[in-house]
Amino acid sequence: MRITTWNVNSVKQRLGHLLAFLKEASPDVVCLQELKCVDEAFPRTEIEEAGYVVATHGQKAFNGVALLTRQPLPLRDVRRGLPGDPEDGQARYIEAVIPTATATLRVASIYLPNGNPIGTPKYDYKLAFLRRLLLHARALREKEEVLVLAGDYNVIPEPIDVANPEAWTGDALFLPESRAAFRMLLNEGFTDALRACDERPGLYTFWDYQAGAWSRNLGIRIDHLLLSPQALDRLVSASVQKHLRGLDKPSDHVPVTVELDLG
């Protein structure tokens, strides 16, 4: 089973790229972030005609996450919103159960806050969201399911994950507090799928639109799939679909895909 995460940076603007990717790669599950549209404006018809079941948690102009499953895989027990703060109105989390022949697969699509500028409520919100995610991830891990927490984490875990570490030292994505919060998820028993398969430097998932970042390969790795121990036992491969960044009018992120052996 192939599970992909992708921050599409406006699903309506990247719909052609998304449909082409679904046809080309045929992922079984797709976790989308930064939809930038309400649920009613999501291009559900086009994606369903491409052979996918859809669940969304949208927000006008900002944020927004979705889960897609290749038919006939169902989406059950859909949860919209991360527990822990009933006042949080930002659409950044969606989770569902996908029954398979051999295991219960639970997948979440996550769009963590950017957090910039530091020293403002935006960074406080980022750290609070990470604390809530840790508590929820801990509760989910105790279910001992095949669990994948996928998305744009807006965290650069290590210096190896950035082309120019010095340029990011004062950024919320690379601050020690952000990286420590990400490590706490790993310490809970989750595994960074891509790093479990490939320890090479130069594996990036985001290139800014500015300053020739793409042409100069000044990338960062902020899109991650974290696996529970039960998912790690079934891990076959993980890869970055870097070529999509070279398309006309692309997202600044590219898909990351893991393959799990679920029989």
> Is 7 flagged in the annotation as binding?
yes
Helix (H, G, I), strand (E, B) or coil at 235: strand
CA 256 – CA 242 distance, rounded (Å): 9
> What distance in Å separates the CA atoms of residue 52 and residue 69, rounded to the nearest whole number?
5
The question of whether 233 is a catalytic residue gets the answer no
Q: Is 187 annotated as a binding residue?
A: no
Active-site residue, from 17, 57, 136, 253? 253
Q: What angle do CA 249, 169, 82 make, to 5 degrees?
A: 65
Q: Catalytic site residue 17?
A: no
Q: Residue 14 in contact with residue 38, Cβ under 8 Å?
A: no
49 annotated among ligand-binding-site residues: no
Catalytic residue at 253? yes
Q: Which H/E stretch holds residue 128?
A: helix 121-141
Does the annotation list 9 as a binding residue?
no
- Catalytic residue chosen out of the listed positions 52, 93, 111, 153: 111
Query: Which residue, 207, 84, 77, 99, is CA-closest to 139?
Result: 84
The annotation status of 124 as a binding-site residue, yes or no, is: no
| DSSP output for 142-186 | TTT-EEEEEEE-----SGGGBS-GGGGTTSTTTSHHHHHHHHHHH
Q: Which of 28, 52, 152, 204 is catalytic?
A: 152
Residue listed under structure tokens 């690379």: 174
Q: For 69, phi and psi rounded to 5 degrees? A: -130, 140
Residue 253 in marked binding region: yes
Of 47, 34, 105, 114, the closest CA to residue 76 belongs to: 105
Which residues, other chains included, contact 55 with Cβ-Cβ below 8 Å and sequence gap of 6+?
A: 66, 67, 68, 75, 78, 94, 96
Binding site as annotated, residues: 7, 34, 152, 154, 252-253
Residues noted as catalytic: 111, 152, 253
Binding site as annotated, residues for Mg(2+): 7, 34, 152, 154, 252-253
